[in-house]
Amino acid sequence: MSSTFLGMPATPPRSPYGTGNLRGDRKFPAAAHDELRNEQLRRNLGKATHTIRAKRLNVTGELPDWEQLRDAGSAIKTDTMNRLPELLEQLEQQVTERGGTVHWARDGVEANEIVTRLVRATGSTEVIKVKSMATQEIGLNEHLESAGITPYETDLAELIVQLAHDKPSHILVPAIHRNRDEIRQIFLKEIPGVDPRLDNVPAHLAAAARAYLREKFMTTKVAVSGANFGIAETGTLSVVESEGNGRMCLTLPDTLITVMGIEKVLPRYQDLEVFLQLLPRSSTGERMNPYTSMWTGVTPGDGPQDFHLVLLDNGRTAALADRIGREALNCIRCSACLNVCPVYERAGGHAYGSTYPGPIGAVLTPQLAGMHAAKDDPNSSLPYASSLCGACFDACPVKIDIPSLLVELRHQHTEESGTTAEKLAMKAAAGVMKRPKLFTAAQKAAELGRVLGGRDGKISHLPPPFNGWSDSRDTAAPPKQSFRSWLASDEGAATMRAAADEYDRNQQEEEK
């Protein structure tokens, strides 16, 4: 290769992909194959998603300015992404001025090291945690455990997942795949000193968890949280939740470490007006969530006296570099798109193999962690895990056009895949269809394909890759005549003439 400088500007180095729980160990269809057979899971999911859908429609339908709110949310987020670097620096400056310490983590590995170092410095070997997708994404719990630090999840659903040594299957309701009988079993087995007569009444289950968690709140000196929003203008962080356990995590310990994805920043304090309406209505179907906690740096004598903010990139800059794909960063993790998704409803969250399941997961995961087409990466199957029905787009409070993003990612995938059998077939199909003569000839061949049909004119078995289709669907054998040959036939011409005559007759009758 010649090394002559040709005056071409070099492409800037691509920002690295994220690390952590952003990749399953098999492709979506294989994972879904197993999940679909789990009858319990499908019942739990079907019930939960249908209930929450109805609730959401009630509280979004009652607001006369819901559509304007969505537009505002979308506009604020788009503006945020367009000037993310400056907003993040402003946030850092504000947090620092108010007594907090800001750390920048390029990826999950760095973020885990930072948090572990900070916890070690306090001398504590335990941390309490409030629901945080970001720390789930980077696998913080596993990392802390390997460093001899025990994390306790305090959000009820997260606690259930943690005690069951399970993985979350939903952004907002991580234990959506569990029903109360299963939860009772988990508690009986895993909570030390639990009353062995515990039954499956939700209030009793909650009380058992409360007794267990209260003790942790009172004795643990360090908390790790996520953040729903970080305000650049004031340095204020915010967590939105339902149970109040988060409030305890955020106020009781001496040290608070917040891990926040860099896309969570908002420009102005006033922007919360929009998002505190959009988020609860879209996520839990509530007009307002029970607990909204906000804190700004350190307040002497009140709350944690040592506050650290870890700003996590982990592939977000890579996503931001994609002109079309970056729209996925606007997501506020409300989970409305999961709840309305017909694919998620059947296959469940685990089939996506990532911290982020459902429609948004199918676009965000490959963007954060890449989809290495040539290596048969499970992530490369995610953009195809959708029928493109568009229910997610309609539900999204910040109007992310998820179906278009999926199509875009599919395109990126086929572009990177080199020559595949599918690509050749697509080329061949387009090659036939771009030449009307060939197309007509192919139709004639299809007409001959009638022989494929059984006596009833149905095809009930097809070869791979169409066998999955024919396992549950009959296909009608091609008709005797295509539309175009009918239209060109005497019969076609006569039928069309008769239809036009009918109009004329009707006109004459009306005139009479």
Kindly state the helix (H) or strand (E) to which residue 150 belongs, with its residue range.
Answer: strand 150-153
311 Rama class: left (phi>0) / alpha (psi -120 to 50) / beta: beta
Instruction: Please report, as residue ranges, which positions from 65 to 124 form the binding site for other proteins (by CB under 8 A).
Output: none
Binder among 5, 499, 509, 511 for other proteins (CB under 8 A): 499
Residue 374 CB, shortest distance to other proteins, in Å, is 15
Residue 346 CB, shortest distance to other proteins, in Å, is 4
Alpha carbon distance 469, 467 (integer Å): 5
Residue 485 CB, shortest distance to other proteins, in Å, is 9
CA distances from 116 to 113, 277, 312 (A): 5, 35, 15
The closest alpha carbon to 350, from 17, 19, 34, belongs to 34
The closest alpha carbon to 240, from 230, 254, 252, 255, belongs to 230
Residue 469 sits in the site that holds other proteins (CB under 8 A): yes
The strand pair at 126-129 and 222-225 is best described as parallel
Mark the segment that binds other proteins (CB under 8 A) among 202-210, 285-293, 305-313, 456-464.
Answer: 456-464
Torsions phi, psi for 231 (to 5 deg): -95, 115
Alpha carbon distance 53, 395 (integer Å): 10
Cβ proximity to ligand SF4: between 172 and 312 the closer is 172
Q: Binding residues for other proteins, how many (CB under 8 A)?
A: 71
DSSP 16: P
- Could you say which of ligand SF4, other proteins, none residue 430 binds, taking C-beta under 5 to 8 angstroms by partner kind? other proteins
How crowded is residue 301: how many other Cβ atoms within 10 Å of its Cβ?
6
Residue 61 sits in the site that holds other proteins (CB under 8 A): no
Residue 467 CB, shortest distance to other proteins, in Å, is 8
236: which strand partners? 296
Contacts of 191 (CB under 8 A, 6+ apart): 163, 208, 209, 212
- Could you say which of other proteins, ligand SF4, none residue 90 binds, taking C-beta under 5 to 8 angstroms by partner kind? none
Residue 10 sits in the site that holds other proteins (CB under 8 A): no
DSSP 327: G
Cβ proximity to ligand SF4: between 312 and 406 the closer is 406
Residue 489 sits in the site that holds other proteins (CB under 8 A): no
Residue 446 sits in the site that holds other proteins (CB under 8 A): yes
Residue 420 sits in the site that holds other proteins (CB under 8 A): no
Residue 448 sits in the site that holds other proteins (CB under 8 A): no
- Could you say which of other proteins, ligand SF4, none residue 332 binds, taking C-beta under 5 to 8 angstroms by partner kind? ligand SF4
Residue 399 sits in the site that holds other proteins (CB under 8 A): no
- Could you say which of other proteins, ligand SF4, none residue 334 binds, taking C-beta under 5 to 8 angstroms by partner kind? ligand SF4
Binder among 54, 441, 487, 493 for other proteins (CB under 8 A): 487
Binder among 61, 85, 244, 436 for other proteins (CB under 8 A): 436
The closest alpha carbon to 131, from 159, 93, 165, belongs to 159
Tokens of 42: 């499908």
Binder among 186, 259, 298, 343 for other proteins (CB under 8 A): 343
> Which residue spans within 244-387 are E strands per DSSP?
255-261, 265-266, 291-296, 306-312
- Could you say which of ligand SF4, other proteins, none residue 475 binds, taking C-beta under 5 to 8 angstroms by partner kind? other proteins
The strand pair at 236-241 and 229-231 is best described as antiparallel
Binder among 22, 347, 362, 396 for other proteins (CB under 8 A): 347
- Could you say which of other proteins, ligand SF4, none residue 453 binds, taking C-beta under 5 to 8 angstroms by partner kind? none
- String marking each residue 35-54 x if it binds other proteins according to CB under 8 A: -x-----x------------
Tokens of 218: 């009172």
Residues that bind ligand SF4 (CB under 6 A): 282, 331-337, 360, 395-398, 400
Helix (H, G, I), strand (E, B) or coil at 312: strand
Determine the residue type at 313: D
The closest alpha carbon to 18, from 484, 494, 364, 409, belongs to 364
Q: Give me the helices (H) in 370-435, please.
A: 391-395, 402-416, 421-433
Residue 18 CB, shortest distance to ligand SF4, in Å, is 17
Residue 429 sits in the site that holds other proteins (CB under 8 A): yes
Residue 398 CB, shortest distance to ligand SF4, in Å, is 5
- Could you say which of ligand SF4, other proteins, none residue 472 binds, taking C-beta under 5 to 8 angstroms by partner kind? other proteins
Cβ proximity to other proteins: between 26 and 42 the closer is 42
Residue 389 CB, shortest distance to other proteins, in Å, is 4
Cβ proximity to ligand SF4: between 309 and 341 the closer is 341
Mark the segment that binds other proteins (CB under 8 A) among 237-245, 248-256, 325-333, 471-479.
Answer: 471-479
Residue 400 CB, shortest distance to ligand SF4, in Å, is 5
- Could you say which of ligand SF4, other proteins, none residue 508 binds, taking C-beta under 5 to 8 angstroms by partner kind? none
Alpha carbon distance 310, 95 (integer Å): 11
CA distances from 412 to 287, 324, 370, 415, 451 (A): 39, 11, 11, 5, 39
Torsions phi, psi for 230 (to 5 deg): -130, 125
